[in-house]
Amino acid sequence: MLKNFLPDAHVESVFQIQPEKLKEKGIKGVITDLDNTLVAWNKADMTPELLQWFNQLRDAGISVMILSNNSKKRVRKFTGTSEVPYIFRALKPAGYGFRRAMHEMGLKKDDLIVVGDQIVTDIYGGNRLGMHTMLVVPIDRNDAPATKLNRMIERFLLSRMRRRGWMKWED
């Protein structure tokens, strides 16, 4: 049960994710969260650095899909003219959005890594479907009000996982 919340890997920021490293692991697609993973939850726009990161992934032959629980308006405004595909109101951790992403990307669960800042939505959802998972440190310490309960649950789960020696990193 608790293992379902444990990410396969952990990074400070998405910019530490190197396309070549993903390819070595046989990963062909990245399903990424938006809020507090790519930009702060209250920041509307794509950044040049992110655009470059998306291009690096594409050049390496790795597909990307943004999978967000946020609204169409929010996600569409963020992606703008970048043509990065997205699924909004994904209802993570439910399987629906993850399966839809897998289907639209034409990939298998083993080919995919889920990247996100929340254990109870991104990591739990991806793990349950048998995808690879990577936890990112949230960009903003503050969250949308709706995320506060998730963070409380997350702190509890993290402390349990640390006590078992499953996690080697600090907050």
Give the residue with the Cβ less far from Mg ion, 108 or 155.
155
Does 33 sit near Mg ion (CB under 5 A)?
A: yes
- Residues with Cβ within 8 Å of residue 128, at least 6 apart in sequence: 4, 93, 95
**95-102 contacts, C-beta under 8 A, 24 or more apart:** 95/125, 95/128, 95/129, 97/67, 97/125, 98/31, 98/67, 98/125, 98/126, 98/129, 98/131, 99/129, 101/31, 101/65, 101/67, 102/31, 102/129, 102/131
Stretch that binds Mg ion, among 8-16, 21-29, 75-83, 113-121 (CB under 5 A): 113-121
| Interaction mask 116-145, Mg ion, x per CB under 5 A | -x----------------------------
Nearer to Mg ion, 63 or 69 (CB): 69
Task: Give the whole-angstrom CA distance, residue 107 versus residue 120.
Answer: 24
For Mg ion, the binding residue among 5, 27, 32, 35 (CB under 5 A) is: 35
Please state the closest distance from residue 154 (CB atom) to Mg ion, in A. Answer: 11
Our CB check for Mg ion shows the closer of 33 and 154 to be 33
Angle at alpha carbon of residue 116, lines to 98 and 14, rounded to 5°:
125
The count of residues interacting with Mg ion (CB under 5 A) is 5
Distance CA 137, CA 123 (A): 13
Shortest distance, CB of residue 29 to Mg ion, whole angstroms?
19
Indicate the residue among 63 and 68 with the shorter CB distance to Mg ion.
68
Nearer to Mg ion, 60 or 140 (CB): 140
Q: Which residues bind Mg ion (CB under 5 A)?
A: 33, 35-37, 117
